[in-house]
Structure 1
């Protein structure tokens, strides 16, 4: 936040210097008129400074009211949005300035402007002032705007006050998603109902999850609870669609990470659109994703999933990346009840993590896209090939994807992998 500052203008400095000189000369020479002129100039400067000080004090006491609105909000990266700042005056403030004489400015993060200048439009009235400017965010995340910077001058132009008003705000920028279709012949075959979009073969059409305080004991699934040694409850799926988890393995590289987030978000949105209850697992915001989001007509499930991606960050090193992924895999293993779909986007994995992920196929129905570097030649490195082959042997439908390629192409390649993996189990 900028500092408050009260300073004399060049005119004010000149008047104060001239007034002081006239006052001293008048006293020394005994010229009354010269003393009067000097006093007048000094008092003019002093009264102007005093007025600005009182106005600043009134502002601190709430004489000016600030509201800021971003439309639409949250914003999608690459889409334009409008920021409107409205400043109104409490008319009971005796020294509050006329707002049509104020100068106003606001800064925004470079990520909201694409690195270019922001052009604002200001509309002024005596008791209201509005600042409007367009933003076009280019990077997912939360980016700052504000605080508003005010500049005011006294009526004589001898002093200026500058300072902030209000608090800065954060604009949430969601990742851009690509429409993906899950209506594919590979996903509607009668040879095996364990496919995306298919009805659950479970007779009670439920998934299982860990018991939580407050759950109805009538929903406890006793056979599974006895086998695991801990309580699990049925999680009803009224739509008949399998619950689905999108597992995201975030790399340390920022470009690869942003591409991965866009792909995972696109998959999650597509699954919600087809009627699945979906959650997104991975990264450092796992606590927000323990439960599945239920699709509804208002789009709340899609909004919740996209909002979760806003705060995702990249791991600082390989150890943190592995820890995040293992936490997500552990959640899958703890909550899976035998009918959940898992769609994983992972990179090259070490043996321990790969083994843990592969074992989730025992209680879930897994689909995986194995990520390779953008410059990988051929398509996959040996480590990525090993990861893909291990998951495929464990019963997953697997395909290789390259960082930066078209998201729809990655998705279609995964659907095509069904004939080689899921349908052969």
Structure 2
């Protein structure tokens, strides 16, 4: 438009009528371009769909950005820009073909969950441009989606001594008064129950309504899992400067999630607490809840002083480097079998440090975990080996210190 004004002014000065036409054209074209973009109405509904819905760190998937035309006219080709999300997905610019009224258009963007955590996929940007490229209008399409990337779960094998051989929810197999069958109870018959589940002997004794046999809930025992999230325990810098090989928190979360998931799969009644004693999850059917809590877990301030519920059969602690006083605090938490996975890239746990000496003197099995080895692509095998070794140590504890030292 500025060129048009200067051209018209120059035409009058030079008395060139042809230049007046060129100047007017330069003035009119931008106005027409703006009308073609700024006044053209486009009404869209937008949503994100993440496939698969449950992502674990290291897995890939797809984000489907779906656009629905809520106007009464078919759209022109749409230029859509989806901003990227660091550590989750790159930004992408796509052209969506014309969408009829009431129909859906879609663009797909690959994602790779590089690290567990909570992420937000922001609003797409719609860019409308006239055919000559003189005018451009940008609109944010309202759509925000939260994506939770769960921590990696490493398959584990074995159970510590103290969690084997438990029979029922109370720890023993008992016969019911109704019929004498072990590990079974009865309840009143309900419409729709299988007739084959009717407990005829118990029904005859009650001489009233029918009752059906119900298997008693079983568990392998109770365990406490302590996860150390102290800010002072892990050396963390800004996210963009963090080195996976030095990130002890990520290794601690992966190990804690793997142990907790494994114990819950074995029907262990599990209580998970952080270093302050705050209960994160509790029960025997809380695997999804546990992974969800650990997905967004970060460091927290506070001293190490967890507590163990009464009747705990085993205690498993995943902790960072401990001072002598902190080790003594943790040592007093022992209930039955006790295992401490101590993350330390300085290898101070292996050479009889005060931390290891205090815990072992209190009857704990100390398993050092090197953060550098555990954070490599093959780190899962390293963690699985550490767990298997811990279970072996606890299973031979009754055979004497000499045999245990040989296993170590």
Give TM-score scaled by structure 2 length.
0.70
Identify the match of residue 107 of structure 1 among 67, 83, 100: 83
On the 8 A contact 1:182/1:274 being kept in 2, the answer is: no
Map of 1:216 onto structure 2? none
Map of 1:344 onto structure 2? 317
Assess, with a 3 A threshold, how the Cα gap between structure 1 residues 196 and 99 changes in structure 2: closer, same or farther: farther
Identify the match of residue 273 of structure 2 among 276, 281, 289: 281
Measure how far apart 1:40 and its partner are.
4.8
Provide the rounded CA distance (Å) in 1 between the counterparts of 2:58 and 2:152. 7
Map of 2:361 onto structure 1? 393
Assess, with a 3 A threshold, how the Cα gap between structure 1 residues 264 and 196 changes in structure 2: closer, same or farther: farther
Identify the match of residue 365 of structure 1 among 310, 320, 336: 336
Assess, with a 3 A threshold, how the Cα gap between structure 1 residues 271 and 50 changes in structure 2: closer, same or farther: same
Pairing 1:294–2:264 present? no
Unpaired runs of 5+ residues, structure 2, are 174-215, 237-246, 375-381, 402-408
On the 8 A contact 1:395/1:422 being kept in 2, the answer is: no
Map of 2:217 onto structure 1? 238
Assess, with a 3 A threshold, how the Cα gap between structure 1 residues 162 and 169 changes in structure 2: closer, same or farther: same
Identify the match of residue 389 of structure 2 among 402, 410, 413: 413
Provide the rounded CA distance (Å) in 2 between the counterparts of 1:131 and 1:278. 43
1:49-64 paired onto structure 2 within 5 Å = 49-55=34-40, 63-64=43-44
Unpaired runs of 5+ residues, structure 1, are 1-15, 188-193, 206-236, 296-300
Map of 1:253 onto structure 2? 235
Deviations 1:280-336 (A, max 9, x none): 32269x76x4441433xxxxx322111111111135xxxx3xx2532xx0xx34xx1
Whichever structure has more helix as a proportion of its residues is 1
1:149-298 paired onto structure 2 within 5 Å = 149-182=125-158, 187=161, 194-196=162-164, 198-199=166-167, 202=170, 238-250=217-229, 251-254=233-236, 255-282=247-274, 289-295=279-285
Map of 1:84 onto structure 2? 64
Deviations 1:17-70 (A, max 9, x none): 453345445667888886566445423312322443334xx56xxx22111111
On the 8 A contact 1:397/1:421 being kept in 2, the answer is: no
Assess, with a 3 A threshold, how the Cα gap between structure 1 residues 119 and 166 changes in structure 2: closer, same or farther: closer
Counterpart secondary structure, 1:166: coil
Pairing 1:312–2:283 present? no
Assess, with a 3 A threshold, how the Cα gap between structure 1 residues 26 and 282 changes in structure 2: closer, same or farther: same
Deviations 1:51-108 (A, max 9, x none): 43334xx56xxx221111111133111111111111222214x7xx8241x2222232
Map of 1:20 onto structure 2? 5
Counterpart secondary structure, 1:258: helix
Measure how far apart 1:174 and its partner are.
1.6
Measure how far apart 1:130 and its partner are.
1.9
On the 8 A contact 1:388/1:399 being kept in 2, the answer is: no
Measure how far apart 1:394 and its partner are.
2.8
Provide the rounded CA distance (Å) in 1 between the counterparts of 2:369 and 2:391. 12
Counterpart secondary structure, 1:349: coil
Measure how far apart 1:266 and its partner are.
0.7
Provide the rounded CA distance (Å) in 2 between the counterparts of 1:147 and 1:99. 20
